[in-house]
A = this chain, B = another copy of it.
Amino acid sequence: MIPKPDSAVPAVAGEGRPLSADKGKRRIEWVFQSMPVLQSVRKQFIRAQPFAGLRFGVSLPASAETANLLIALRDAGGSPALCPAGAHQQQDVLASLTRDYGIPAFAPDALSEVAAWQPHLVFDDGGRLTQFLHQHRPDLLDNCLGGTEETTEGVVRLKALSRQDGLRFPVIAMYDAMTRHLFDNRYGTGQTTIDSLLRTTNILVAGSTVVVAGYGWCGRGIAARARGMGANVIVSEIDPIKALEALMDGYRVMSMSDAAALGDVFITVTGNKAVIHREHFEKMKNGAILCNSGHFNVEIDVDGLTRAAASRKQTPADVEGLGGVEEYVLRDGRRIYMLSEGQSGVMSAQPPASVLDLSFANQVLCAEFLVRNHSAQERLKNKVYAVPEQLDRQVARWKLDAMGIKIDRLSVEQEMYLSSCSGGAE
């Protein structure tokens, strides 16, 4: 039997915690106004009720932004239940979600509980809930219309499953959306990385030399922002086309071996391992700062640095702007500073709510697309799909609306012209 939303026993929001729930409510309301695009979708779906009778199993970080996503699903007729993913949970938000919005929240990683919710749709972050359903609750899979997955890591897992014909419902990879590349990676990570650097070290960026390893979307954003703050930026890349692009964008481009001796700050966003390693530590200037903004914590060889260091200590957390920095003193006396132990997930600055706004609005649209498609004649296959371009474009359009920006639309004549010839000069 499926637990009813209103009878669900939330794991975290025990009684006697009204204060916490109050605080959570204020946070949810506060973030609400920074997510205008999600609200646009919500408003439209309040009338249409596309999710009437459908349960959502949601495995996302418990934050005020996620709360607003869940509320939007609820207001569109759905019955979402949250199983918080990841290490950092906002307890007060969970408390308010249950108390004030009637949305059940289970304990972190309580995958079997959220599975018992018998979801029709799955919102996943890392592919763990989807995998759990396939491995432990195959009986529920016929019930599932589809899912979305946030991360590239999760997508890799689900694609592997799909190649073995094991995937039992279609999944949309949120990561590939243009609105995500543009916002989350280029502009979001670009700003957040600089923000984290300032909060933790309070160095003057102007006049410093910043080495950015990797010139993908994130790297482009970080390089642009570092230059925008007055840094002289060096890019290292293994892909010659991206390297050439960085060069044409006015940056210096060189191997990490050559850059190692020049940088004041090193930021890695390559998706690869040991991009900065022992050979590089040996060449670095006294006082060099290392920071990983990539997806995983392997980009900087922290173990190698630890072995190379004579000592290692946390910097005074109470010194203004020096939380989360560790000082490694090398045998020759040079000091190297590492932010957040080389992990990017726990960097001090959070992405702006307006960035998640686009991702989450897109996610609700994708869910509606999965539902609508399920009842269509020609159904999606049980594969991993990219975000349909028209949804991506719709999200961008609502974002422009929310910012009060008007753009042109094609005239009939122009549409005819474009379809008759090549058109689309780049």
Contacts and interface: CB of A to CB of B under 8 A. Distances in A.
Contact of A27 (B319, B392, B394, B424): B319
A393 B248 contact: no
B156 A248 contact: no
A406 B240 CA distance: 10
**Which has the most chain B C-beta neighbours within 10 Å: A195, A224, A322, A397?**
A195
A190 to B, nearest CB: 7
Given A424-B271, A426-B181, A406 B258 contact: yes
A294 B424 CA distance: 9
A36 B338 CA distance: 21
Contacts of A53: none
Nearest to A198: B195
Nearest to A249: B230
A12 interface: no
Given A352-B204, A414-B272, A251 B232 contact: yes
A31 B203 CA distance: 11
A235 to B, nearest CB: 9
A183 interface: yes
A101 interface: no
A318 B27 contact: yes
Nearest to A247: B207
Contacts of A198: 191, 195, 198, 349
B316 A413 contact: no
Contact of A400 (B34, B244, B354, B407): B244
Interface stretch (A76-84, A130-138, A214-222, A377-385): A214-222
Nearest to A407: B243
A410 B272 contact: yes
Contacts of A335: 33
Given A202-B350, A425-B269, A414 B274 contact: yes
A338 to B, nearest CB: 16
Interface of A: 23, 26-27, 30-31, 33-34, 64, 92, 151-153, 155-156, 178-179, 181-183, 185-188, 190-191, 194-195, 198-199, 202-207, 214, 216-218, 224-225, 227-232, 236-241, 243-245, 247-258, 269-274, 285, 287, 294-296, 298, 315-316, 318-322, 335, 349-350, 352-355, 392-394, 396-397, 399-400, 403-411, 413-414, 417-418, 421-426
